[in-house]
Amino acid sequence: MRMSKIQLAIAVGCAGAGMLLLPRGAALGLNPPALNSGARAPAEGTAAPPFSLLGLDARNWTLAQTRGRVTVLNFFATWCPPCRAETPDLNAIERRYAAKGVAFVGIDDEESPALVSVFAKTKGVRYQIVMDSKSAVEHAYDVRAIPTTYVLDRRGIVRYRQVDELNAKTLTAVLEAVIAGKPIPQSQATRRFHGIVSTALRSLNEGLKSAKAAAPGKTPALDAAINTGTRANKSIDTLLSGPDSSSVSYFDVTKARGALNNALAEAYALRASGSDALEAALLRGQTYEDQERFADAAAQYEQAMQMAPKDTRGYDGAYLAQYEMHAYSRSLEIAQAEAGIAPQEPESWLTVASARNSLHQYGLALEAQRKALALASQAYARKPSAKDAAYELGRVWLKMARTEILAHDAASARPLLRQASAAAPQTIVDQQAAEQLAALRPSQIAIDGSGERGARGRSMNPAHVFVNVRNPSAQARAVNLAATGLPSRWLLSFCYGTVCNPYKVSFALPARGSKRVELLVAPLRETGGPWSMSLSVSGGSTARVNLDAKTAKAAILITAS
């Protein structure tokens, strides 16, 4: 089932910063939108919006750098299970198609560079990853759910777009077509999908026409039409849960299923018996959400809540619609009301916690999560061997750790992450807890080259090269630089601004900050002629200055800590 970013977050309990949680079962259909409501997705045949973002190495990267190459843009997050599932296929296909001029770019959804770096290393990702820290690119591409993938041709024109976990078969077929300049082939699953929808729509519309012409109170035609529509939706659900689902266009599904659900809602409204009005409101709410008409969706779901105060479907939809409009206080009210009618469900309290997190009420969010923890612990105590119970318990621990991280309390998050791993070993919860623990460790200070990598001196004259010292972590750091391995009667000073310190120096770097430092090397006695030095750097926490003079040869080690 295709899920929005915040739906996936609630499902696995791993929402990234800014992408908080959604209540259980919020989607009545398959395609709830994500947080963007202004832009529209770039259509096939149009130019891909340009953008510039920082990569994991803190260097600027632009889409223009891929011009002349077929480019795969993959929007992802480490907390998204389908994103993680498709990563091995993306890695394999990237390796296979690099020689054919195909570039892969991962665009991360608002997570910390430290966490994404750990994920990339663990999963063996070698292609470019950039950080969409303010969701600007997601807005430009109207990313409604993740993973979302765009394939651009060599001129930067969108040739393919999909919202789903892509399998190797689907992506390979797309790339072969784009490289050859041919149309994207239509899959058998796509043809079957359109066949189901067109047949059901035709039957629904005929039933509606017959019902409107019949005497009041005569409902056989409506009964048949509603049965046809509900069966069609079940068939679509089955198709889109199958192995070839990624070949069916999300955008086709949204449009076609909206038409189907509108006709089905009209049939319910005409029949108007029992819960028909409720079903009509829920269907219309889902259609409006798919169209990103969130205020209209909220109105329909609020009606459903009034008609069926104990049916959680209306609350789920209303919560999402209000969240999309950033009406977080109203989202909290809806979440609390749902918890009142389903207090024994851990998910009810996790949804309350999500709403609290969106309002930056982290202490109150933890209170709600403790209620979920108590319920999950009780379920685990009843069946400690049940995998689902263990997974749910680990998931709650993980959510509590995420709240502590949002509150900038890494010390409190660490034991919660260990509890998550212990409760649900060898699961996605365990994997993500381990990655998050690794990401909380301070990142190494990095040393890069800056300008010329070599210099020459004459006799006792000094020479210099420059390095750029970076703090890649999210916290300010005190940086210590030291030089070792100098030959006798040689000096290396670290200089910046008006300050020069021989052999070692300390200074502060802000989060993600950097400083350009001069490595000034000087002989303290005659060298017997010209001498040279060269800088060797790899982006790690060490660098080497290779010294070559008649009187001395050495490899001077520069270390950052």
In a domain, 371, yes or no: yes
Dihedral angle sign, alpha carbons of residues 117, 474, 428, 416: positive
Residue type, 469: V
Average pLDDT over residues 263-289: 94
> What pLDDT score does 19 carry?
28
> How far lies 125's CA from each of 104, 232, 366, in Å?
10, 40, 34
The rounded distance, in Å, linking the Cα atoms of 322 and 14 is 21
Indicate whether 516 and 384 sit together in one domain. Answer: no
The rounded distance, in Å, linking the Cα atoms of 179 and 168 is 16
In a domain, 44, yes or no: yes
Q: Which two tokens stand for residue 255?
A: 């449009």
CB atoms near residue 479 (< 10 Å): 18
Q: Which two tokens stand for residue 312?
A: 């959680």
Dihedral angle sign, alpha carbons of residues 131, 136, 137, 142: positive
- Contact status, residue 208 vs residue 269, Cβ threshold 8 Å: no
> What pLDDT score does 242 carry?
87
Indicate whether 426 and 465 sit together in one domain. Answer: no
> What pLDDT score does 218 carry?
66
14 has a pLDDT exceeding 50: no
31 has a pLDDT exceeding 70: no
Could you check whether the bond before residue 384 is cis, i.e. omega within 30 degrees of 0? no
Q: Within its chain, how far is the Cα of 226 from the centroid?
A: 38
Indicate whether 514 and 528 sit together in one domain. Answer: yes
Taking alpha carbons only, the member of 5, 16, 8, 6 closest to residue 403 is 16
Average pLDDT over residues 332-356: 97
Indicate whether 432 and 461 sit together in one domain. Answer: no
pTM of the full predicted structure? 0.77
The rounded distance, in Å, linking the Cα atoms of 90 and 242 is 20
By the 10 Å C-beta count (0-12 exposed, 13-18 middle, 19+ buried), 440 is classed as buried
Phi, psi of 160 (to 5 degrees): -160, 145
- Domain tally for the chain? 3
In a domain, 521, yes or no: yes
Phi, psi of 506 (to 5 degrees): -130, 140
Buried b (16+ CB within 10 A) or exposed e, 137-152: bbbbbbbbbbbbbbbb
- Contact status, residue 33 vs residue 23, Cβ threshold 8 Å: no
Indicate whether 482 and 403 sit together in one domain. Answer: no
> What pLDDT score does 145 carry?
87
Decide: helix, strand or coil at residue 332.
helix
In a domain, 75, yes or no: yes
Indicate whether 467 and 430 sit together in one domain. Answer: no
16 has a pLDDT exceeding 60: no
Indicate whether 381 and 452 sit together in one domain. Answer: no
- Contact status, residue 433 vs residue 503, Cβ threshold 8 Å: no
CATH number at residue 111: 3.40.30.10
Taking alpha carbons only, the member of 178, 158, 175 closest to residue 167 is 175
In a domain, 428, yes or no: yes
Taking alpha carbons only, the member of 470, 472, 464, 530 closest to residue 495 is 464
Identify the domain boundary among 180, 204, 229: 180
In a domain, 294, yes or no: no
Residues in the chain: 561
Indicate whether 415 and 529 sit together in one domain. Answer: no
| Full domain range(s) for residue 509 | 446-560
Indicate whether 470 and 534 sit together in one domain. Answer: yes
Indicate whether 332 and 380 sit together in one domain. Answer: yes
In a domain, 131, yes or no: yes
Taking alpha carbons only, the member of 194, 220, 216, 191 closest to residue 206 is 220
CATH number at residue 334: 1.25.40.10
In a domain, 101, yes or no: yes
Average pLDDT over residues 540-554: 94
Indicate whether 434 and 451 sit together in one domain. Answer: no
> What pLDDT score does 434 carry?
96
CATH number at residue 521: 2.60.40
User: Percent of the chain having pLDDT more than 90?
Assistant: 77
Identify the domain boundary among 180, 204, 227: 180
Q: Which two tokens stand for residue 31?
A: 């395609």
Lowest mean pLDDT among 19-33, 35-49, 341-355, 389-403: 19-33
User: Percent of the chain having pLDDT more than 70?
Assistant: 93
Average pLDDT over residues 440-462: 89
Identify the domain boundary among 418, 441, 464: 441
The rounded distance, in Å, linking the Cα atoms of 433 and 109 is 18
Name 106's bridge partners: 74, 129
Lowest mean pLDDT among 331-335, 370-374, 468-472: 468-472
Decide: helix, strand or coil at residue 161.
strand
Indicate whether 501 and 425 sit together in one domain. Answer: no
217 has a pLDDT exceeding 90: no
The rounded distance, in Å, linking the Cα atoms of 318 and 26 is 9
Decide: helix, strand or coil at residue 464.
strand
Cβ-Cβ contacts under 8 Å for 365 (sequence gap 6 or more): 352, 353, 354, 356, 357, 403
The rounded distance, in Å, linking the Cα atoms of 39 and 202 is 32
The rounded distance, in Å, linking the Cα atoms of 285 and 296 is 7
> What pLDDT score does 26 carry?
29
Higher-confidence position of 40 and 285: 285
Query: pLDDT tens for residues 72-118?
Result: 999 999 999 999 999 999 999 999 999 999 999 999 989 998 899 99
